[in-house]
Amino acid sequence: MKSFFRMSYPYILWIAVFIVAPMFMILLYALTRTGNSTLTFQFTLDNFARFLREPTFLRVLWTSLRVALLTTVFCILIGYPAALFIAGLPERRQTMMVLLLTLPMWINMLLKTYAWRGILLNFDFASETKVFIGMVYDFLPYMIIQIHTSISKMNPDLKTAAYDLGANKWVTFKRVTLPLSIPGIISGITLVFLPAVSSFVIPKLLGGGDYVLIGNLIEIYFLTAGDWNFGSAISLIMALIIIASMWATKKLDRNAQEE
């Protein structure tokens, strides 16, 4: 048993260096004043109060949540029929379709966003519409794959039994397919909403600098303004929102599995 525990030492070291230490530094910066030396710290909550007090920052947060929510909803509306169609194909064709679906995911997000920037320059869309299109394109495969995985794991005898009991296709979908695919939908929501709400590359490139989300705000205060204390406070607020979202989706997943 001890030998197995020793094998976890590299992972514990990795977590301590690349997760715990950076989060501790962010927490330290968020709770101290700008210009502190490394020896004397003046702890304060002014950085959090500043964010909650300014309507502009709250508007950016609301916009980020709204865009992420819309992106997630559209990914479900587009991804569920696509996953259902792929799951109905023969096994070999399913494998090919999943491969074609994952191929764009192998390309760097920055390159894909630049490609969409060139395409959308030819259309007179609003900045928010361009950002929305870019996000749906980038995150849609994650939704489709998760839902397809849940649907493909279903026992086909359940649908056969529903037909034998007199259910039509719509009733079978509503009573059998949809409930059993809810865990895949919830996993897809997690993989779409969380990166969408904190995204900064897509809004920066497709928004043309006129569209700022919470990820761009953090980048501005870290790299442009040099206010690491306020940037760290925004990062912690964003982290709390992400943790709350993960807790909510995990609870929904647990309830769906129990049902």
CB atoms within 10 A of CB 35: 7
CA-closest candidate to residue 191, choices 146, 248, 235: 146
CA 66 to chain centre: 13
Class of domain 55-258: mainly alpha
pLDDT score of 7 more than 80: no
Taking phi first (over 0 means left), then psi (-120 to 50 degrees means alpha), and beta for anything else, what does residue 208 get? Answer: left
What band does 85 get if pLDDT is binned at 50, 70 and 90?
very high
Domain ranges of the chain: 55-258
Q: At what angle do helices 91-102 and 127-152 cross, to 10 degrees?
A: 150
pLDDT score of 42 more than 70: yes
User: Global pTM?
Assistant: 0.85
Q: Which residue has the tokens 């997943």?
A: 253
* The predicted structure's pLDDT at residue 133: 93
Q: Which residue has the tokens 């690491």?
A: 228
Overall average pLDDT of the 54-80 stretch: 93
Q: How far apart are CA 155 and CA 150, in angstroms?
A: 11
Based on its alpha-carbon atoms, the radius of gyration of the chain, rounded to whole angstroms, reads 22
pLDDT score of 144 more than 90: yes
Q: What does each C-alpha distance from 66 to 162, 192, 198, 213 come to in angstroms?
A: 39, 13, 12, 10
